[in-house]
């Protein structure tokens, strides 16, 4: 028996994994008639200028943003301030980014348990704030000793319990594909969409991040089309250095925007990025660039 086979059998005994046959459902089921896609901007807490949440929301609303994206680890500390600051405004909480402890697909049971419990807590807290989703990265490097195939099988097995919890909380659990240095088996939007297909639960969806896509996709348009009906969120940054969109020479999102228009995308494109210049000016310039490129797509 080779090593991989022996490892899998051990894992199977621990978790009861049985390989499922993928359903024939395809992500590319374009809605009929296709709704007109909309450019709906969102911004992460750490990217928006301002000392308080209220100041950040003032700036974002004044510049046409529809959503604010807090980090999951901050929710216990900022939930009261955020709820108060949102009163009487059009801008809403979009998705909540991360905040999970442990690792859902660790080779250690205690880490898997911690991952499950902490993610449920973030989903509940995010749902109470009216968020549309919680972003989740299944495993960072060194968080699991499982190989590519075993990790994916285990993920598909543990997700339904979390999807049920997400549905009850009124939002989606969002898989985020990362570049190959940050997640070893979930790199492309199509990888995430295929996991959604295999889990086959309305509580699980996928997102795309233009910065990670720079390294992993051969076509932004094709990536978003592959996400199709499963795509529910997008992150954006400059293409080469992950700064504000437009701060790297040649920053271009037109091909991706074409894909989003083809699938009738209705969800948020959210700023997750660093900064080279002055924050307010750079963000205003980035919004202008994105609106121009959206129109030309």
Query: Residue 215, exposed/middle/buried by CB under 10 A (0-12, 13-18, 19+)?
Result: middle
Nearest-angstrom CA–CA distance, 177 and 206: 8
What is the Cα–Cα distance from 99 to 158, expressed in whole angstroms? 18
What's the min distance (Å) between Cβ of 294 and Mg ion?
19
Nearest distance from C-beta of residue 272 to Mg ion, angstroms:
5
For Mg ion, the closer CB: 242 or 261: 242
Alpha-carbon distance of 167 to 250, in angstroms, equals 40
Interface residues with Mg ion (CB under 5 A) are: 209, 235, 272
Nearer to Mg ion, 135 or 287 (CB): 135
Cβ at position 206, least distance to Mg ion in Å: 12
User: Closest approach of Cβ 114 to Mg ion, in Å?
Assistant: 22
Radius of gyration of the chain from its Cα atoms, rounded to whole angstroms = 19
Q: CB–CB of 139/106 below 8 Å? A: yes
Nearer to Mg ion, 72 or 157 (CB): 72
- Residue 176 Cβ vs Mg ion, minimum distance, rounded to whole Å: 6
The residue (of 205 and 235) whose beta carbon lies closer to Mg ion is: 235
Neighbours of 12 (CB within 10 A): 15
Q: Which is nearer to Mg ion, 150 or 209 (CB)?
A: 209
Tokens 């900064």 belong to: 275
């Amino acid at each position: 028996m080779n090593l991989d086979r022996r490892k899998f059998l051990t894992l199977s005994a621990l978790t009861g994994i049985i390989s499922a046959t993928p359903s024939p459902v395809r992500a590319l089921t374009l809605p009929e008639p296709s709704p007109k896609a909309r450019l709906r901007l969102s911004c992460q807490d750490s990217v928006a200028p301002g000392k308080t949440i209220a100041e950040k929301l003032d700036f974002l609303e004044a510049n046409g943003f529809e959503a604010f994206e807090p980090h999951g680890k901050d929710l216990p500390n900022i939930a009261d301030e955020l709820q108060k600051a949102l009163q009487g405004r059009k801008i809403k909480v979009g998705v909540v980014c991360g905040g999970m402890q442990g690792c859902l697909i660790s080779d250690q049971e205690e880490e898997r348990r911690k991952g499950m419990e902490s993610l449920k807590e973030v989903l509940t807290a995010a749902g109470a704030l009216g968020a549309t989703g919680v972003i989740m990265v299944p495993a960072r490097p060194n968080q699991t000793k499982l190989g590519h195939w075993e990790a994916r099988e285990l993920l598909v097995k543990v997700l339904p319990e979390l999807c049920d919890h997400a549905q009850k909380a009124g939002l989606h659990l969002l898989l985020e594909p990362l570049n190959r240095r940050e997640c070893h088996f979930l790199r492309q939007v199509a990888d995430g969409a295929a996991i959604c297909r295999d889990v086959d639960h309305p509580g699980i969806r996928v997102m795309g991040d233009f910065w990670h896509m720079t390294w992993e996709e051969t076509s932004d348009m094709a990536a978003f089309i592959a996400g199709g009906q499963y795509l529910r969120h997008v992150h954006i940054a400059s293409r080469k250095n992950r700064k504000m969109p437009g701060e790297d020479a040649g920053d271009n999102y037109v091909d991706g925007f074409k894909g989003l228009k083809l699938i009738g995308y209705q969800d948020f494109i959210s700023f997750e990025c660093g900064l080279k210049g002055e924050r307010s000016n750079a963000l205003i310039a980035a919004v202008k660039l994105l609106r121009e490129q959206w129109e030309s797509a």
